[in-house]
Structure 1
């Protein structure tokens, strides 16, 4: 088979894949534009109402929407459309729906759902970091599937802990109450004899509350637990994915994994030309 025939066969084979990518790309663009328009509308209404903190949150969300593009250009990687859509929806759900529209208090378990999703997504990012190094042309790094899975889990948990540090700092310095308070009806304390104490009421500044006021410990621990659950789910299936070399029913996980950009034909020819020039220069220097 001639080189021309092979190229034509390759083009016919990749045409359906290319069309599918273009269709998914249009969906990503639709999601991107729709969410941005909603954020801009919210910012305009907040500015007219004098709610400048809401305007700041909207601007922060708009800036974070550039994050996928920045990562792609900076590290020369491609984010799958599914992953990019999930990242955009996560930013929108946490900052807009959660903070501005009060879903954290209005919708049961909204916060826990986002922390579970965060654990899953950050585990995917940690997983892909090792996979990209494994596939790197100049870095000799071959790691076992178990190590990659453990690293992905630990990476996700590290991000989760750093986020809890951020929430604590905002509560301490800005009074943001990101670590949600709650009333506790009973607890065990060594200061109270080490026995379980039932709290009927607590008075704070003359105001009676029906229980002990926890200022964020339980919220923090629950956030980390569901983060670990999301990370564990992806790490487990990621471990199986490597073992099956990306085939079978687990192939859908590839939609959550960034991959290295493939060089175009022009870039490949340029790289090959530079390599040959360097080899020729080394040969001339030896002689």
Structure 2
């Protein structure tokens, strides 16, 4: 049986991908910087995408790779893609909407994969519901202060992203596909906060934060002014042009996509 290598295996999505593949009886190997602390129910080996030389042992006998690019730039992606192409047959990349347009690192990683000789499938999820965990401290205080409360998003549960990845990795017919994955509904950021409050049984208010103030705070956290500016522009655009909703998740999985309310219930303990 061929092996599937899962990168980013200790993250929100990768952990579910590795676990679901293992539960399906497939031979899976997880990549982690510290295998001893990964806590995964599958074979876990040491490796780091920022150190391509560490990938060789992990790629032995690997047929397919779930690739989660870990950086805000494509620096080093050429070496990683070359290493994967030297061993594996195909790659499923966790990419992002807008990657088809030049000017972002996902576009460059996709370009390298397209020209690598690998079979490929690109998953382009909408905003991750899990990103709202960044509000947890504010939720506990009862007020979330963030920019663009009227920005409407189609946030997706990380379990749905993982389920689609597992479906694609375990079945044929997805070569050359770029799937835009979303949740089943549009909720403004202020509405998301209300739903989180209902999930934990506590009233939580929204307060709009000036974008300039948010820019300063997020740059200190994320370290990339360009990425912060891009995020702020995107959130602002969702005020007048809400994030799209697609039918890709139900079409591929044969069930409805999980709602943000279901996500909030799953993560209530993280906000309590």
Same fold at TM > 0.5:
no
Q: TM-score with structure 1 length normalisation? A: 0.26
Q: Which of the pair is proportionally richer in helix?
A: 1
Q: TM-score with structure 2 length normalisation? A: 0.27
Q: Which of the pair is proportionally richer in strand?
A: 2
Which one has more relative contact order, counting CA pairs under 8 Å at least 6 apart?
Answer: 1
Question: Max radius of gyration: which structure?
Answer: 1
